[in-house]
A = this chain, B = another copy of it.
Amino acid sequence: MKACGVIVEYNPFHNGHVYHVEQAKKASQADCIIAVMSGPFLQRGEPAIIDKFSRTKAALSNGVDIVVELPYPFAVQSSDLFAKGSILTLKELGITSLCFGSESGDTSHFIRSYHLFKEKRNQYQQTLKRHLADGASFPEASSLAYQQTNISTEEMDLTKPNNILGFSYVKTILDYNLSITPLTIKRSQSGYHDQSITGTIASATSIRKTLSNKNRLTTSITNAIPDATKLQIEEYKSKASLWHSWDHYFSYIHYRVLTLSLQELSLIQGVDEGLEHRLKKTARNVCSFNEWMEKLKTKRYTWTRLQRMFVHILTNTKKKEIDILSTPSKLPYVRILGFNRTGQAYIHQQKKQMEVPIIQKIGRHMHPMLEIEERASNAYYSILPPTNKITLRRQEINPPIQTK
C-alpha cells in the first residue's frame, strides 16, 4: 500500500477539502490519504470552531483514511515550523508523496524556487534582517526579501499565502532529503482569506465568519460543506453548548495576564521584546478580545502574531518548552486521531517499520510533548459548562476511532 500525505486544519472540513482529497488521490495514485491536522489551536492563532475529534470524523467520511495530530509546538507557529512538524509527522508514517494546494499549481516551479533559494540564502537572510530592523513584521520582511532577491518570480509568486506554505513544505522535504514527492494542485476558486461564501466552494474563513455572525448553519454554509461536516457542527454544539471563538476565551486570558508577574509573562512563548509590559498596561481597560487586540496591534506585532501569543498564554506554554520540543529532527511519537478500514490496514502494514511509537490512547507516563497537548486541550475546553467539559475531555484519553 502507498500513502499520500496532506497538511490540513479542516476548520471546518468543506467542499474545497473534498476536492483537494480527490485530486490528491488522483495525482498520487496512492491507496491511502493521510491528513496531518492541527489540534485545538490553529496556525493563525485561533481556537478551532469545533474540536479535533469532530473535525476528524468529518474528514474520515470524505475520503481521508487516517488523521494524525500535528503536535502543538508546531501547530501554532510560523509556516517554517508548521511545515517542519507536518512533514516530519507524515514522514514517520511512510508517505511517498505530499499533495498541497497552491496559487502556482506547478510542482516544478517550487523545485526551481528551492534551488534559487539555496543559491541566494545569505542574500535573503541579510535582506530579511534589514527589513526586520526597520520595524517590518516577519511575514512582510520575508515577502520583501523574497521579492528583492528575485527568489519570488512571476511563475512562483512568494507573496501568495498558499505558495508560501507550499514552498515551506518543499523546502523541508528537500532540506531533510526525504523521499517524498511533492505534488501541487492549483487552487482556482476562493482565496485563503475570502470573507464571503459564493457557491459550493468557499474558504473556511468565510464559513466561520458566517457561522459566527448568524450563530447557526445557514443554507449558504450547508451548500459549501459536505453532510458529515454539517452533522459534526450540529452535534458539537449539542455536546458543547457552543462553537469556539476567541470571544469566549477573553475572561480567561485576561485573568491570566492580570495574575501573572511580568517576569512570568515574559517566559511565555510569543511574549517577546517587552510585550509583557504592553499586555499588563492594556489589560487594565479592555472589555473584549477584539478591543484588546486593537490596543496591542502595531506594524511589527501583526494580528496573527498576537493571536498566537494569546494561544500560548491561554495554554501556559513557555519559550523553553517550544525550543526543546521543536528543535529535534525526529518526533517522539505519532498521535492518531482517527482512521477508517483502509487507514487501519495501512497502519498495520507500516507499524513494523516505524521508528517511533504510534499513540492512540493516552496512558499514565507522558512525554513532555503530550503534557503540552493535554494542557492545550484543557485550555480549549475550559470555556464549556463543567459537565460538557468532562465528557468532551474524555476523548483526549480515549479517542473515538472510526473503523466502519
Is A382 within 8 A of B288, CB to CB? no
In Å, the complex CA distance between A315 and B390 comes to 25
Interface hits, A243-294 → B, CB 8 Å? 250-252, 254-256, 258-261, 264, 284-288
Task: Indicate which residue in B259, B287, B314, B315 contacts A378 across the interface (CB closer than 8 Å).
Answer: B259
In Å, the complex CA distance between A287 and B391 comes to 11
Indicate if A371 sits at the interface (CB-CB under 8 A).
Answer: yes
Q: Which of A255, A256, A378 has the most CB of B within 10 A?
A: A255
In Å, the complex CA distance between A25 and B121 comes to 82
Interface hits, A292-317 → B, CB 8 Å? 314-316
Task: Indicate which residue in B254, B264, B285, B390 contacts A382 across the interface (CB closer than 8 Å).
Answer: B254
Is A251 within 8 A of B386, CB to CB? yes
* A-to-B contact residues, CB < 8 Å: 250-252, 254-256, 258-261, 264, 284-288, 314-316, 371, 375, 378-379, 382, 386-387, 390, 393
Cβ of A256: which chain B residues have Cβ within 8 Å of it?
256
In Å, the complex CA distance between A252 and B386 comes to 11
Is A316 within 8 A of B259, CB to CB? yes
Task: Indicate which residue in B285, B316, B375 contacts A390 across the interface (CB closer than 8 Å).
Answer: B285
Task: Indicate which residue in B260, B264, B386 contacts A250 across the interface (CB closer than 8 Å).
Answer: B386
Cβ of A387: which chain B residues have Cβ within 8 Å of it?
287
Name the residue on B nearest A286 (C-beta): B386
Name the residue on B nearest A288 (C-beta): B386
Cβ of A386: which chain B residues have Cβ within 8 Å of it?
250-251, 254, 286-288
Is B284 within 8 A of A393, CB to CB? yes
In Å, the complex CA distance between A38 and B347 comes to 61
Task: Indicate which residue in B260, B286, B288 contacts A316 across the interface (CB closer than 8 Å).
Answer: B260
**Chain copies in the assembly?**
2
Name the residue on B nearest A394 (C-beta): B284
Cβ of A261: which chain B residues have Cβ within 8 Å of it?
316, 371, 375
> Do A258 and B375 contact each other (CB < 8 Å), given the known contacts A251-B382, A382-B251?
yes
Known: A251-B386, A261-B371. 4 other contacts (CB 8 A): A251-B382, A258-B378, A261-B375, A287-B390
In Å, the complex CA distance between A286 and B390 comes to 8
Q: List 30 A-B contacts (CB under 8 A).
A: A250-B386, A251-B382, A251-B386, A252-B252, A254-B382, A254-B386, A255-B379, A255-B382, A256-B256, A258-B375, A258-B378, A258-B379, A259-B314, A259-B315, A259-B316, A259-B375, A259-B378, A259-B379, A259-B382, A260-B316, A261-B316, A261-B371, A261-B375, A264-B316, A285-B390, A286-B386, A287-B386, A287-B387, A287-B390, A288-B386
Q: Which of A254, A286, A288, A316 has the most CB of B within 10 A?
A: A316
Cβ of A382: which chain B residues have Cβ within 8 Å of it?
251, 254-255, 258-259
